[in-house]
Amino acid sequence: MKAIEVNNLSKLYPPNIRAVDDITFSIDLGEIFGLLGPNGAGKTTTLKAITTLGKPSSGTIKAFDIDIIESPQKARQMFGYVPQAVSADGDLTGYENLLIFAKLFYVNKNEREKRINNALKYMGLSDRSQDLVKHYSGGMMRRLEIAQALVNRPKVLFLDEPSIGLDPSSKRQVWEYIKKLNEEFGMTIVITTHDMLEADELCHRIAIMNSGKIAVIDTPHLLKKSIGGDIVSLSLQESGLKLSIPDELGLLIGNDDDRVLISTDNAEIAIPQIIRHFENNGSVVRSVTVNKLTLDDVFMKYARSSLQSQGTIKDNRSVRRSFARRGR
């Protein structure tokens, strides 16, 4: 059984915006799954359809084999949702914000206090639970919103751009909480992001979305491998022209007198072995540089080819610019 199955999902907004255009994918139990793509790709629209907050134009969606379009109530009981825009009320305390959610999700009166306190404690907010939320930092606010979604004890937690607008250290902290929820409770987690680092750090699998379509789905590792891996460049004391390297270390793709280029799956692991190999063969390695592939490179390849097949090169350029700005 899959946690989520989406089949031929489309969403049209009037007059004729194809926000989501016939996408099919599934999410495994216990997986952290990422919908990655630039602004306007259709990520939020997809998430809203799955969480029953937006009605699809066509297609089917199942959660744990339950048709969520036929049984939205059942679906909502299994889901926690943290929207992209700030949803906590600043004029209430942290505790009061969670109480609203507990009531909204019909959490039994006897259970409420315990569940709220557990969720606050889990997200590291117990000591601030009686403070007004408008005095919280951005990171605390986001953690509170995750706590809100946890009151429901969801089987699947959806987070729309979980770290948008956070400073780097709060962002890391939110990532750690997301990983902890997944590891400790085996919770299935679905995030959307335009941040490739975030997707790489958190997700077991990623769907790259662009213009309402999914260009490719795979693990971050295989996505990077599929476009050729990391490039290691070695500078040798003497000519390396006669050298070869064993397959398991990588592929020799350039050999220019005292400079050798090797393409490899994972540079961190391969480099010590490559250096040892060269030194065992009598070559002294003077320096090493690495060009690590990022999901940025992966996006360029897959989103570009999907856009070119649709013939919208102009949009593609702006997409690439917006990724380049954020990527590195």
Ligand X SMILES: Nc1ncnc2c1ncn2[C@@H]1O[C@H](COP(=O)(O)OP(=O)(O)O)[C@@H](O)[C@H]1O
User: For 160-294, where are the alpha helices, taking DSSP H only?
Assistant: 168-185, 196-202, 220-226, 267-280
| Token pair 């064993």: residue | 246
Task: Give Cα 271 to chain centroid, integer Å.
Answer: 28
**Is omega for the bond preceding 15 within 30 degrees of 0, making it cis?**
yes
Nearest residue to 136 (alpha-carbon basis) of 160, 115, 166? 166
User: For the chain, where are the alpha helices, taking DSSP H only?
Assistant: 43-50, 72-78, 94-104, 109-122, 138-150, 168-185, 196-202, 220-226, 267-280, 295-310, 313-327
Q: How many residues bind ligand X (CB under 6 A)?
A: 11
Q: How far is the CB of 164 from Mg ion (least distance, A)?
A: 9
- Judged by CB, which is closer to ligand X: 140, or 209? 209
- Judged by CB, which is closer to Mg ion: 48, or 115? 48
Q: How far is the CB of 237 from ligand X (least distance, A)?
A: 51
- Judged by CB, which is closer to Mg ion: 192, or 283? 192
Q: How far is the CB of 65 from ligand X (least distance, A)?
A: 26
Q: Give the contact letters, 3-42, x = binds to Mg ion (CB under 5 A), - = no.
A: ----------------------------------------
Please tell me whether residue 163 binds Mg ion under the rule CB under 5 A: no
Q: Please, which residues bridge with residue 263 across strands?
A: 231, 251
Q: Positive or negative CA dihedral for 279, 283, 284, 288?
A: negative
Region 20-59 residues binding ligand X, contact defined as CB under 6 A: 37, 39-45
- Judged by CB, which is closer to Mg ion: 27, or 35? 35
Q: How far is the CB of 318 from ligand X (least distance, A)?
A: 13
- Judged by CB, which is closer to ligand X: 42, or 80? 42
Q: Please identify the residue of the shown chain whose CB is closest to the bound Mg ion.
A: 44
Q: What does 39 bind: ligand X, Mg ion, none (CB cut-off 5 to 8 Å by kind)?
A: ligand X
Q: How far is the CB of 43 from Mg ion (least distance, A)?
A: 5
Q: Please, which residues bridge with residue 23 across strands?
A: 9
Among 10, 44, 52, 255, binds Mg ion (CB under 5 A): 44
Please tell me whether residue 46 binds Mg ion under the rule CB under 5 A: no
The angle that helices 313-327 and 295-310 make with each other, rounded to 10 degrees, is 170
- Judged by CB, which is closer to Mg ion: 193, or 264? 193
Residues 6 or more apart from 135 whose CB is under 8 A from it? none
Task: Give Cα 166 to chain centroid, integer Å.
Answer: 16
Q: What does 305 bind: ligand X, Mg ion, none (CB cut-off 5 to 8 Å by kind)?
A: none
Residue 214, both tokens = 């999914």
Q: Residue numbers of the site for Mg ion (CB under 5 A)?
A: 43-44
